[in-house]
Amino acid sequence: MWQYEKKLQYPVKIANPNPKLAQLIITQYGGPDGELGASLRYLSQRYSMPYAEVKGLLTDIGTEELAHLEMICAMVHQLTRNLSEEEIKGTPFANYFVDHTTGVYPVAASSVPWRAEYIASKGDIITDLHEDLAAEQKARTTYDNLIRMVDDPDVLDPLRFLRQRELNHYQRFGEALRLTSDRLNEKNFYSFNPSFDKHCNK
Indicate which single residue of 125, 169, 180, 195 sits in contact with Fe ion (rule: CB under 5 A): 169
Positions in 135-174 near another protein (CB under 8 A): 168-169, 172
d(CA 193, CA 24): 39
Indicate which single residue of 44, 50, 74, 183 sits in contact with another protein (rule: CB under 8 A): 74
Which residue, 89 or 100, has its beta carbon nearer to another protein?
100
Three-state DSSP state, 107: strand
CA–CA distance from 65 to each of 8, 25, 33, 70, 72 (Å)?
12, 16, 12, 9, 10
Minimum CB separation of residue 121 from Fe ion in Å reads 16
Query: Helix-strand-coil percent breakdown of the chain, rounded to 5?
Result: 60, 0, 35
d(CA 129, CA 117): 17
Positions in 41-60 near another protein (CB under 8 A): 53, 56-57, 60
Which residues make up the interface to Fe ion (CB under 5 A)? 166, 169
Which residues make up the interface to another protein (CB under 8 A)? 5-15, 53, 56-57, 60-61, 64, 70, 73-74, 77-78, 81, 168-169, 172, 175-176, 179
